[in-house]
Amino acid sequence: MEGGFTGGDEYQKHFLPRDYLATYYSVDGSHLPEVEMLKFYLECLHRTSSFLPTGGLQGDMLIDIGSGPTIYQVLAACESFQDITLSDFTYRNWEELEKGSGAVVKRVLKCDVHLGNPLAPAVLPPAGCMLTLLAMECACCSLDAYRAALCNLASLLKPGGHLVTMVTLRLLSYMVGKCEFSCLALEKEEVEQAVLDAGFDIEQLLYGLRSYSVTSAANTGVCYTVAYKKPGP
């Protein structure tokens, strides 16, 4: 990582899906902290399905923002949603997602959270649910940019829809193979306030003190939120 926060061009050139999957989603025991982190992600998603008064996240359409090359995050949702959209910024990740899509996964789109319509040029009906897991802190170079991006995501949801976020805290960078990519070092309180200011009520907030083996950062954590979009005026 040189010359400041990692930009979009660097992601297109150097983010290799196979390296990312080998580092963070291998189950061969070579990256035990990463396995424990994945377990935490899955536990959070499972708890959400039994937490909400409605009996879980349900609706016609779900959008996953910043899917990366993974689909684990939407597997359980396939039983509750009839129309699922996966999205990512890089074309290599689109290619990986296309391999795993099918059934209720209707489309794979480019996303850019800094646009008023993050899925432009595609225009979709307002969704009932949106996921963005471990993506926003990599895409936003400042707290102001993060707050603005959450507002952009809110525009894709219908009133009463749910936003599910997972953010790695206090992390300045992460490795994919031999390449280093920037992160915005957020605090739990900053994430919580940004979600509230984007027009949501938080129904669930889980915090876990976790760290990766492939970063030098200590005392990192993960903030997981489930928020309900308030009706407009």
Query: Rounded to an integer, what distance in angstroms lies between the CA atom of residue 89 and that of residue 120?
Result: 11
**pLDDT tens track for 179-204:** 999 999 999 999 999 999 999 999 98
**96 located within any domain:** yes
Question: What is the bridge-based pairing of β-strands 157-169 and 221-229?
Answer: antiparallel
Query: Rounded to an integer, what distance in angstroms lies between the CA atom of residue 47 and that of residue 4?
Result: 37
**213 located within any domain:** yes
In this predicted structure, what is the pLDDT of residue 36?
Answer: 77
The tokens of 170 are what? 């206090």
Q: Three-state SS for 165?
A: strand
Total tally of structural domains belonging to the chain: 1
Domain span at residue 104?
A: 8-229
In this predicted structure, what is the pLDDT of residue 208?
Answer: 79
In this predicted structure, what is the pLDDT of residue 212?
Answer: 63
**39 located within any domain:** yes
**221 located within any domain:** yes
**143 located within any domain:** yes
**109 located within any domain:** yes
- Cα-Cα-Cα-Cα dihedral sign, residues 142, 147, 151, 157: positive
* pTM assigned to the model: 0.90
Shortest CA distance to 76 belongs to which of 48, 95, 100, 51? 48
In this predicted structure, what is the pLDDT of residue 52?
Answer: 47
The tokens of 220 are what? 């990192």
In this predicted structure, what is the pLDDT of residue 81?
Answer: 86
**3 located within any domain:** no
In this predicted structure, what is the pLDDT of residue 103?
Answer: 80
**192 located within any domain:** yes
CATH number of 124's domain: 3.40.50.150
The contacts of residue 5 (CB under 8 Å, 6+ apart) are 141, 182, 184
The position carrying tokens 């907030």 is: 205
In this predicted structure, what is the pLDDT of residue 213?
Answer: 60
Which residues of the chain are modeled with pLDDT < 70?
1-3, 27-32, 49-58, 210-219, 233
